[in-house]
Amino acid sequence: MKLVVGLGNPGRRYAGTRHNVGFRVVERFAERNRLAFTSRKFDGRFGRGDVGGIEVGILEPETFMNLSGESVAAALRYLPVEDWKQDLLVVSDDVDLPFGKLRMRPGGGAGGHNGLRSLIDHLGGDGFARLRFGVGRPAGPVDTAGFVLAGFSDGEQKQLGARLDEAADAIEAWLFDGVQKAMNRVNRDSKPARQEDAAS
């Protein structure tokens, strides 16, 4: 089994925020592949199904971002995931990438992201694949925490659907081609949104 995890915070208050774009990406991937979150387990929303002959689990931890690793570790203890270093993909927001830019990596540090830090702590290593979705940085003296917990701008909202589709494409590339081929394609082809459109 492959496990795809989106990072975010539970509840309606956070649903449309930049910090929850990991949830949005996994939901778009699930929708395209007729997967559904059918149960609440592992301290999160969980579903499983077949995608092109591969058994896939989808998980949205509901522990709040800083404790995401608890949910993922619980899922990995129970599910038939042979090797999380090969079979786990985590989707998160990233303020160091411009809005709409995607970046895939086979491992690495948390990069200041508390959700990724929690996963590294609970899994005992950082060798899992991750797909980062750029949300940009605030212009001017705006607190970064407040920025990621706010919604997208009107201009970003107009482009968000297409960007979510690109991110779902990236998950499918990882699923069928493995992290190295997917990474090469995603990191080469992904372009940030046009700034004049995103800012409007």
* Orientation of helix 154-177 relative to helix 21-32, angle to 10°: 60
Q: Is 122 tagged catalytic?
A: no
Number of Cβ within 10 Å of residue 42's Cβ equals 24
Question: Residue 22's closest CA among 155, 136, 140, 135?
Answer: 135
- Rounded distance between C-alpha atoms, residue 132 and residue 34, angstroms: 23
| DSSP assignment letter at 90 | E
What residues have CB less than 8 Å from 183, skipping those under 6 apart?
104, 105, 106
Where does residue 122 rank: exposed (0-12), middle (13-18), buried (19+ CB within 10 A)? Answer: middle
Runs of H (alpha helix) within 65-113: 68-78, 84-87
Amino acid identity of residue 154, one-letter, is: D
Q: Which of 19, 101, 113, 130 is catalytic?
A: 19
| DSSP assignment letter at 99 | T
Number of Cβ within 10 Å of residue 158's Cβ equals 14
Hey, which residues are catalytic here?
Answer: 19
